[in-house]
Structures are given as structure tokens and as C-alpha cells.
């Protein structure tokens, strides 16, 4: 009986959050460790379906770096990096489109549908969803850094996503952008998710990673922080390594209108549900102001 009561208490704890977020859009960046293995992928798909069934509007933007690396190696296509960033040659771009727009995207869609959801797979090329241009930034020596067909987002057309949401579908988006000339560009998944969330004025942007969230100087989880606190932490060197680009993407989304950003460990089963529907959450929540925490 005690176990049943605990289950009931869990549902009661979730009730105010279901009420608060009913009808709201939640964008989830899914990739990396959260995609490692069938069990984790199934857990994520179940989370997405439950979000949909209780009235939220989930949108999934996914990555697939390890899968791309494996196929590049299998096809003997060189995989080059400059200053830590992947260079995408025309041959590599074909692989990116095959993996992200095909294999990975369709697997996520199939899993969500298998558990009772209604998912539709897209790339940024569909309906001009993600407009992009060639990535342009100076390298360490000041000279332009040429990454080939790596792109940066210039705009997001939310109309196709709004139509799918209105008809009860979960959009599952591969981060491939399209240029004004029709060329495809490889877009960083976190960046694409942030821009999609901003275009949809999403209630939440959830970034799944392979650590608990943002950690303080003693290695302890920071459960809540504001834009200003996060910016200060990066400036002071308290946020380092791979967490820097994730926090930067989160801050971009917040400044463009997203209400909250959550960074959490995608390896934890049902991590999305635990973050959204429990009082304590399991990751780091970043808000625009302290009053929203």
C-alpha cells in the first residue's frame, strides 16, 4: 500500500506543473549520452509521449555526432576538426544529411510513435524551417575560420511547427539548415534548439547533456541561476569546458523570449519528467530574473 500512496503523491506533486504548462511549448535538445543505447532512447520517447498526453507541446531537436563519426569512418571520409569544431566537406555533408535527416531522425520518430505519440520528422530544409548561412568567425590567429558547410542560423520559420502542433503532432527536427542558394548546412544542435525555442516563444528549452547540470567551484549542482549569475560565472571561469556553449545557447534563448532554460543529465531515466514535474528538479534551471526561479 505504501508504494501505491507514493505513486499517488508523485502524481499530486506533478498536478500544479501540468496545470501551469498545459498548452505551452517545450523544446528539448536531444543527443549525446541520452541517445546511447535502446533503453535510454525508449525512456526519452516515453517522456515525450507523456508530455504530449498531459497537454504540453513538445518539440524535439536532435543531434547525432557519434553516429556521423562512425559512418564517416566506415566510408573512409576524412573527419577533420579546426579549433575543436567539425569541418564539414561536401562529402561529409552528404553523410550528415543521411545520418541526421535519415537514420537518427526516423528512429526517434518511430520510438515516439511506438509509445503512442504522434511524431513527424523534419530537417531545417523542410518549409524553409531553419535558414542559414556559412559559418563565419575568426580563428585564433585572426584569419577567417573555414569550416566548410557548417552554418549559422539566420532565421527560423515557425509556421510549419505551429501547424504540426495545432494538429497534435510532435515535430522532431534534424539540425540541417538551408542557405539562400539552396545549399544544406550542418548546424550545431544546441544552437538550432535555442533558435527554434526562441521562434516559438517556448515556455522551456531543455538541453540534455552528460553531467548533472551547471556545477559550482566545489563540484556541486547549481539548481537555479539567473541570466546575470550565469554570465558572471562564465566570465569568472566558474563555468568551463563543454558547459560554456550550452549555457551560451541557453542565454541566447532567454534573451530572445524563452521563459526558462534547463540543463540536465540525459543519462538519468525519465530526466525530462523529473525536471518539469517535480518540486526539486534534477538539473540546473536558468531564468531571466530571480523572480521567475
Element (H, E) at 116: none
Q: What is the model's pLDDT at position 291? A: 60
User: What is the rounded CA–CA span in Å between residue 161 and residue 152?
Assistant: 20
Candidate CATH numbers 1.10.490.10, 1.10.1200.10, 3.40.710.10, 3.40.1160.10; the one for domain 2-292? 3.40.1160.10
Q: What is the model's pLDDT at position 293? A: 57
87 neighbors 80 (Cβ within 8 angstroms)? yes
> H helices within 171-226, ranges in order?
189-199
Residues 6+ apart with CB under 8 A from 219: none
* pLDDT by residue, tens only, the chain of 293 residues: 666 567 677 778 888 899 999 999 999 999 887 888 899 999 999 999 999 999 999 999 999 989 999 999 999 998 888 876 779 999 999 999 999 999 999 999 999 999 999 999 999 999 999 999 999 877 676 677 889 999 999 999 999 999 999 999 999 999 999 999 899 999 999 999 999 999 999 999 999 999 899 988 788 999 999 999 999 999 888 888 889 999 999 999 999 999 999 999 999 999 999 999 998 889 999 998 866 65
User: What is the rounded CA–CA span in Å between residue 250 and residue 191?
Assistant: 9
Cα first-last separation, the chain:
35
Q: What is the model's pLDDT at position 133? A: 96
pTM above 0.85, yes or no: yes
Q: What is the model's pLDDT at position 139? A: 66
Q: What is the model's pLDDT at position 179? A: 95
47-to-65, 171, 182, 273 alpha-carbon distances in Å: 23, 15, 35, 6
185 neighbors 146 (Cβ within 8 angstroms)? no
Q: What is the model's pLDDT at position 199? A: 97
Q: What is the model's pLDDT at position 143? A: 72
* Catalytic residue (choose from 107, 125, 204, 246): 246
126 φ/ψ angles, rounded to the nearest 5 degrees = -75, 120
85 neighbors 150 (Cβ within 8 angstroms)? yes
Domain ranges for the chain: 2-292
- Whether 246 is catalytic is yes
β-strands 260-265, 85-86 pairing:
unpaired
Q: What is the model's pLDDT at position 5? A: 65
- Whether 29 is catalytic is yes
3-class DSSP assignment, residue 64: coil
206 neighbors 260 (Cβ within 8 angstroms)? no
* Catalytic residue (choose from 47, 63, 121, 190): 190
Q: What is the model's pLDDT at position 3? A: 60
Amino acid at each position: 500500500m505504501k508504494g501505491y500512496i507514493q505513486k499517488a503523491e508523485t502524481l499530486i506533486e506533478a498536478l500544479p506543473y501540468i496545470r501551469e504548462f498545459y498548452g505551452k511549448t517545450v523544446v528539448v535538445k536531444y543527443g549525446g549520452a541520452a541517445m546511447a543505447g535502446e533503453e535510454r532512447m525508449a525512456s526519452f520517447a516515453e517522456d515525450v509521449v507523456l508530455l504530449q498526453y498531459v497537454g504540453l507541446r513538445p518539440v524535439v531537436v536532435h543531434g547525432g555526432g557519434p553516429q556521423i563519426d562512425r559512418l564517416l569512418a566506415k566510408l573512409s571520409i576524412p573527419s577533420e576538426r579546426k579549433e575543436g569544431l567539425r569541418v564539414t566537406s561536401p562529402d561529409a555533408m552528404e553523410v550528415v544529411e543521411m545520418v541526421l535527416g535519415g537514420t537518427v531522425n526516423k528512429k526517434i520518430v518511430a520510438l515516439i510513435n511506438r509509445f503512442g505519440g504522434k511524431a513527424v520528422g523534419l530537417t531545417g530544409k523542410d518549409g524553409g524551417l531553419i535558414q542559414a548561412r556559412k559559418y563565419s568567425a575568426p580563428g585564433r590567429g585572426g584569419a577567417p575560420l573555414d569550416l566548410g558547410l557548417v552554418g549559422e542560423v539566420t532565421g527560423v520559420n515557425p509556421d510549419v511547427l505551429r501547424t504540426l502542433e495545432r494538429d497534435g503532432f510532435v515535430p522532431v527536427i534534424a539540425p540541417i539548415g538551408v542557405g539562400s542558394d539552396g545549399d544544406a548546412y550542418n548546424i550545431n544542435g544546441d544552437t538550432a534548439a535555442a533558435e527554434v525555442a526562441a521562434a516559438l516563444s517556448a515556455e522551456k528549452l531543455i538541453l540534455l547533456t552528460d553531467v548533472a547540470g551547471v556545477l559550482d567551484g566545489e563540484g556541486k549542482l547549481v539548481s537555479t541561476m539567473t541570466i546575470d549569475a550565469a554570465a558572471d560565472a562564465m566570465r569568472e571561469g566558474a563555468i568551463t569546458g563543454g558547459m560554456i556553449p550550452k549555457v551560451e545557447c541557453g542565454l541566447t534563448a532567454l534573451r530572445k523570449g524563452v521563459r526558462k532554460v534547463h540543463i540536465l543529465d540525459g543519462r538519468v531515466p525519465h530526466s525530462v519528467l523529473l525536471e518539469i514535474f517535480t518540486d526539486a528538479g534534477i538539473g540546473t534551471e536558468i531564468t531571466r530574473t530571480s523572480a521567475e526561479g
